[in-house]
Structure 1
Amino acid sequence: MQGHLSVWLVKHELVHRSLGFDYQGIETLQIKTED
Structure 2
Amino acid sequence: MFWTPYADWIYVVVSVSGMLLIIALVLRPGAGPRP
**Bigger fraction of residues in helix:** 2
Structure number with bigger Rg: 2
Q: With structure 1 as the length reference, what TM-score do the two structures score?
A: 0.27
**Bigger fraction of residues in strand:** 1
Q: With structure 2 as the length reference, what TM-score do the two structures score?
A: 0.27
Q: Considering Cα pairs closer than 8 Å and 6+ residues apart, tell me whether 1 or 2 has the greater RCO.
A: 1
